Copies of this chain bind each other. A is one copy, B any other.
Amino acid sequence: MTTPENPRERLLDAAGEIFAEKGFKGATVREIIDRAGVNIAAVNYYFRDKERLYIEAVKHAACGQGEEPHLSWSPDTPPAQKLRDIIRFQLLKLLDPNRPAWLARLIMRELIQPSEACAELAREYIEPRSKILFGVVRELLPPGTPNRKVFLTAFSIVGQCHFYCSHKPIIRILIGEDEYQRLDPTTLAEHITQFTLRALKAEE
């Protein structure tokens, strides 16, 4: 990512990063303008104040996040393979250090303390994705399985995945830094997939 030369976007980039890292109160405008390499008066000039900068930074981060590779299967793909793809895709997105990780933190902050900035973000982003998982789970379960069982199963899957992201600091302490480093997304994806498939296969 090349750093843009116009101060407005430089501010947005720096702000998104630092706001995600330290929260709204924890981040100072001086630190932001310092990383952006602009004068402090620029935040008042391009945005009204710190809060307006925050809102714009969140929107900028959410929209500018590049296109995602869509999950699309051929009609005869076995549901077990679809499940594997979903889990792997999710874990890669949650744990890949190459990806800008601070967007996830921004969203987790909004989970705890929602602001109007990204209130609708979770809804527009998560809901369509969960619909896909619900469908695959329904394929894997016996026909006529009640709705409740479907999403309980789906939550068991997603819960396993997100745990490695949301509770990362604690996992790191529990199993030690060395062991943690060996937990690559592919290994985890395979474990969760097998774990889930066994639980579902024994279902009937």
Interface residues of A (CB under 8 A from B): 21-26, 105, 108-114, 118-119, 122-123, 126-127, 130, 148-149, 151-153, 155-156, 158-164, 166-171, 173-175, 179, 182, 188, 191-192, 195-196, 198-203
Contacts and interface: CB of A to CB of B under 8 A. Distances in A.
A22 B109 CA distance: 11
Identical copies of this chain, number: 2
Nearest to A175: B151
19 contacts: A26-B113, A108-B166, A118-B170, A122-B170, A122-B173, A126-B170, A127-B174, A130-B174, A148-B179, A152-B188, A156-B192, A156-B195, A158-B163, A159-B164, A160-B160, A162-B166, A195-B199, A199-B199, A202-B202
Contacts of A170: 111, 118, 122, 126
A111 B158 contact: no
A125 to B, nearest CB: 10
A106 to B, nearest CB: 9
Nearest to A179: B148
A173 B119 contact: yes
Contacts of A188: 152
B155 A164 contact: yes
A145 to B, nearest CB: 13
A100 B126 CA distance: 28
A186 to B, nearest CB: 13
B118 A169 contact: yes
Given A25-B26, A152-B188, A156-B192, A111 B167 contact: yes
A148 B190 CA distance: 13
Name which of A24, A153, A166, A168 has the most chain B CB atoms within 10 A of its CB.
A166
Contacts of A127: 173-174
A81 B8 CA distance: 56
